Amino acid sequence: MSLVYRTSALFLVSICCSLLIPAGLRAQGVNHAALIGVGAYPASTGWAALSSANDLELITATLEEIGFSRDNIQTLKDEEATHDGIVTFLTKTVRKQLKRGDVLMLHFSGHGQQARDDNGDEDDQLDECWVPIDSPKDFTPGVYEGEHLLRDDEIGSILADLLKTLGPEGHLFLSVDACHSGTSTRGLGTARGTDQIMGDSAFVAGVYASQTPGKSQGAKQELVTSPEQKNLVVFTSSSPHQLSYEQARANGQFGAYSYELCRSLRTMNPKGTVGDLFGQLESRIGNLGLRQRPTAEGDLEQKVFNGRLTPPVPAFRIADVLSDKTIRLAAGDLQGVYPGSLMALYPAGTSDTSAVEAVVRGNITASTAITADMALNQAVDPSRLKNLRAYLVYPAPPPLDLSIHLRNLEPATEQMMQGILKEYPFIEAGPLPSRLIVEDERDSVFLWTPDDRLIWSDRIKPSNRGWMVKAIKQHVEASAMRHLATDDPDYRATVVLQHKTSDGWKSFDGEEVPEGTLTRFEVKNVGSTTFYFSIVDVQPNDEVEVLVPASDQDGESFKLGPGERWKSPNFNIAPPYGAETVKIICTDKPIRLNQISGTRGIPTQSHPLELLFAASFPEVEGTRGIKVDEPPAGRGSVQTLNFRITRSE
């Protein structure tokens, strides 16, 4: 999976509204969604094309899975999404469908821009705007001065009217997958939005002159502004001055935030709070290793969709019968169904698969974000297949495919990279967006991530090949490890980073940890049974290290019963700076991760989580895309702690 930054006013708006009056005294509300996507901007506007249509498809599928009827999901996209088209869509088409107590999810995906404040209500003199398809990027005096931008004042007025329609019992959840002001020093990839202000040159010069050195212009767009808006919650995909990113997959490109929001909605407790949802979302985006941190505004203690979120069924629907031995499932990468996964089909309505024999088993042969093809191990009458449901028996790890963009290479570097591509088939060269960028500048070669993180650089010379291969493999391993996740409620832990204060050890409030801070980890067993645990650290420079048990330690010693805690030895936070990810792997028996990371080999009688860990390393054979007839024995789960190492002030 590769990631491409995007600055944008892509507002992913989830507006949820339902009655808070006791059951029996209230009318049953209806779930609605209004999805707006602008991606096919004409070249004449100066805006780059976006993958907004993919976002809408993904969100639609997710909403259907969690309780929205397809009939109540309305979309507006591309040529229809002019300024006037968006306003009419929201104020008339959508609003007339609503009644008090309904749930509405409103999503906007497109570019974002700041413009000169037109009514004097902004301290920074700038309005935050959505960019409709008919709004050019450039300010041209007397020709175009931002008339078609959808400004925050107008957006706020529309939201106020929707809240009024929903009534005090309703709930509005606004989620923003974008930013308005971030910028990139390298300019690699496709950005949603711009740091180019819509205003005359004299005004823009004055804005830049008033900025704090080292920071770009821009402020958080605050829409929860009064107690009367207690039923409004706002999520944004990134903090002010940060970029919002896209992730490019083999089957399409999506907003990183939109994708992870969909994953979080599909897996959260249906009775969970908005804060619970945001916690999952924040953790998942943290796993990407990006300089992007989502924010939340409003009352996070209220229920998601006021508690009327339908729990996802553990079985997947058969979307299409391709033959008597091949079917297509309504599940894919988003649900963790990757090629090689072992599946089993049972009659619809089966609640306990351990008490019923599967009709047939098979393996996933190909997948997209929301579908997967399954090859059955024996033929089944097609008329019968439609009445079956698929259960995931053993998940395969996600593919390790890596896309690299080669940019401005000297002949020596070009020859080196072509040799690497030929030797390592999991690496593919391609256009932007890509997961890594190789670039020559002057007499040096650089390996970048799309969010401007330098992975490796050196002078152009023949010995670069070995170092380049090592850096690429290390990045692949780190990325796979950051995404390692599985859950078993019986084997569950919490992990926090604590720091020493004058009042004793306290957990960090926030994700930034300055270098030099004296810290320690605390792990607590919050499951129902005793487990053994391992700790794996993924550093900002992509180095992966097994911290616990160390190579000279016995795994039997790291065991916690329900409610028990373990505290690590104290240590000082040190560079490299950037996103650090810590994985706590809880299992029913000790596992040998150091043996795998040290030898790149798979132990005999492997535990399932040992196999998933081994699959993070490209050179470990036999761990990806293979047919699994019987899953290995063993239970466990993986928890994550993300924080960011910063320079001390």
At which of 482, 510, 538 does a domain end?
482
pLDDT at residue 19, as a whole number:
31
CA angle 418-420-425, nearest 5°? 105
Residue 135 shares a structural domain with residue 74: yes
Range in 180-189, 340-349, 421-430 the model is least confident about: 180-189
Residue 119 shares a structural domain with residue 245: yes
Q: 306 with 299: CB under 8 angstroms? A: no
**Structural domain contains residue 413:** yes
For residue 267, pLDDT over 80 is answered with yes
How far out from the chain centre does Cα 422 lie?
31
pLDDT at residue 224, as a whole number:
61
Q: Which range has highest mean pLDDT (196-200, 219-223, 260-264)? A: 260-264
**Structural domain contains residue 215:** no
Residue 200 shares a structural domain with residue 67: yes
Instruction: For residue range 458-493, list pLDDT tens digits in order.
Output: 998 878 899 999 999 899 888 888 888 888 889 999
For residue 26, pLDDT over 50 is answered with no
Residue 556 shares a structural domain with residue 422: no
CATH code (residue 346): 2.40.30.270
For residue 628, pLDDT over 60 is answered with no
How many domains is the chain built from? 4
Q: Which range has highest mean pLDDT (8-12, 237-241, 504-508, 603-607)? A: 504-508
At which of 282, 307, 332 does a domain end?
307
- 282 or 134: which leads in pLDDT: 134
At which of 254, 278, 307 does a domain end?
307
Residue 125 shares a structural domain with residue 29: yes
For residue 210, pLDDT over 70 is answered with no
The β-bridge partners of 436 are 404
Residue 69 shares a structural domain with residue 187: yes
What pLDDT band is residue 222 in, cutting at 50, 70 and 90? low
What pLDDT band is residue 364 in, cutting at 50, 70 and 90? very high
Residue 385 shares a structural domain with residue 442: no
Residue 174 shares a structural domain with residue 246: yes
pLDDT at residue 622, as a whole number:
47
**Structural domain contains residue 148:** yes
Residue 153 shares a structural domain with residue 99: yes
Q: What percent of the chain has pLDDT over 70?
A: 85
CATH code (residue 140): 3.40.50.1460
Q: Which two tokens stand for residue 169?
A: 């019992």
What pLDDT band is residue 191 in, cutting at 50, 70 and 90? low
Q: Which two tokens stand for residue 644?
A: 């960011």
For residue 282, pLDDT over 50 is answered with yes
Per the prediction, the chain carries an average pLDDT of 83
Give the Cα separation of 422 and 190 in Å (integer).
28
**Structural domain contains residue 214:** no
Instruction: For residue range 509-536, list pLDDT tens digits in order.
Output: 777 899 999 999 999 999 999 999 999 9
Q: Which domain holds residue 629?
A: 493-646
For residue 197, pLDDT over 60 is answered with yes
Which DSSP category does 161 fall into?
A: H
Type of residue numbered 587:
T
Residue 324 shares a structural domain with residue 390: yes
For residue 370, pLDDT over 80 is answered with yes
What SS3 class is residue 36? Answer: strand
Instruction: For residue range 102-126, list pLDDT tens digits in order.
Output: 888 888 888 888 888 877 666 667 8
- 116 or 364: which leads in pLDDT: 364
For residue 131, pLDDT over 50 is answered with yes
For residue 576, pLDDT over 60 is answered with yes
Q: 284 with 263: CB under 8 angstroms? A: yes
- 224 or 608: which leads in pLDDT: 608
The closest alpha carbon to 251, from 376, 375, 339, belongs to 339
Residue 86 shares a structural domain with residue 199: yes
pLDDT at residue 18, as a whole number:
34
Give the Cα separation of 406 and 437 in Å (integer).
6
Residue 133 shares a structural domain with residue 162: yes
Q: 416 with 463: CB under 8 angstroms? A: no
